[in-house]
Amino acid sequence: MSTTSDLPGRFPELLRAAALRVTRPRVAVLGAVHALPHADTESIIVAARQDLPGVSHQAVYDSLHTLTEAGLLRRIQPAGSVARYEARIGDNHHHVVCRSCGVLADVDCAVGGAPCLTASEDHGFLIDEAEVVYWGLCPACSTPRS
């Protein structure tokens, strides 16, 4: 049985399973995104440099693109927000975003498997995913200030 603490040791295996070469920038980026769910690119760069101090901005951007294309990461970009990345993949979940501070959290789909919503008109598309973003105020922003 593996634990979350075992996960960094499995990054090379995950990369190989996705038919990707194992590189230090990719491993550092995977580690950063797993440690910082919903992080923006700048936060990922800072975190990746904790493990790999010399990693360039471009290497992080390239790794994010490659890992997202390979399905190892998910890129999300709520309206008015910068792109963020998460390692929670392969399930059907959505997000809730604070209108005031921008904090973002996962929300499990209340209906089931993907897509968890049925479009009123599919226009001939074969729909396999529905993306829902809930908007509101987080607990910190909705608490009246004294």
Helix and strand counts by DSSP (H, E) for the chain: 5, 6
Q: What is d(CA 101, CA 19) in angstroms, rounded to the nearest whole number?
A: 38
- Non-local (6+) Cβ contacts of 143 within 8 A are none
Residue 145: predicted pLDDT:
64
- CATH of 91-142, picked from 3.40.50.300, 3.90.700.10, 3.30.1490.190, 3.20.20.210, is 3.30.1490.190
Return per-residue pLDDT of the chain as tens, 146 residues: 444 557 778 999 999 999 999 999 999 999 999 999 999 999 999 999 999 999 999 999 999 999 999 999 999 998 888 999 999 988 878 899 999 988 899 988 776 565 666 777 888 888 877 778 889 999 999 887 64
Residue 1: predicted pLDDT:
40
The CB density around residue 60, as the number of other CB atoms within 10 Å, is: 24
Residue 3: predicted pLDDT:
43
For the domain made up of 4-76, give the CATH fold. Arc Repressor Mutant, subunit A (1.10.10)
> Tokens 């979350």 — which residue?
4
**Domain boundaries of the chain, sorted by first residue:** 4-76, 91-142
